[in-house]
Amino acid sequence: MTTRIPAAEITGFYGALIKKFSTKMFGKVPESLGVMWHNQPVLKASMGFGQKLQKWNSCDESLKSYAHMAVASLIGCSWCLDFNYFMAHNHGLDLDKAQQIPRWRDSGVFTPLERDVLEYAEAMSTTPVIVTDELAARLLEQLGAPALVELTSVIGYANLTTRGNVALGIESEGFADACGLKPLAVPSGRGVA
């Protein structure tokens, strides 16, 4: 991995905790943690919000995971795609669907609701945002207000992490490869500007 900021040595008590947790969860300490270690308050805030986000339960976990992967695919964050594919595996989600996220528009594996969620994730992630009233109304009807608010927040967080990783040059660290997952589908042409 060639990051734009070299990884710092992760030290101290908090560093030992993070290394232990990372090794237990991933089998290694991701190099990206060393990049973020340069600013521990930012790292702690991001990790803290990510942990809180995982406790939310108004929206189906697979929909949130697919939405995050759709953002990562659109933005070009190979780290987030790899990590979320790995996490889909660990959480027992449908790996055939997760594997197809980069080419969801051309894949026949997604339900109409999943397609709406993936479209919403991409529409929220463009500049300017191109979410239509019709798409939002369909999702509101299918998910309800609490789940749509949660999904929207997850997509917003996905934009924070994916854009930051791409800007810092943080790339895939082989999480999915380590557990023998099929390669992700190659992205197809986009219908989004």
Q: Which residues contact 174 (CB under 8 A, 6 or more apart)?
A: 82
**pTM across the whole model:** 0.92
Helices vs strands, H then E, count in the chain? 10, 0
CA 48 vs CA 33, 52, 59, 88, 112: distances in Å = 14, 6, 20, 20, 33
Neighbours of 190 (CB within 10 A): 11
CA 190 vs CA 67, 122, 143: distances in Å = 16, 10, 25
One digit per residue, pLDDT tens: the chain, 193 residues?
A: 689 999 999 999 999 999 999 999 888 899 999 999 999 999 999 999 999 999 999 999 999 999 999 999 999 999 999 999 888 988 899 999 999 999 999 999 999 999 999 999 999 999 999 999 999 999 999 999 999 999 999 999 999 999 999 999 999 998 888 777 788 888 876 544 4
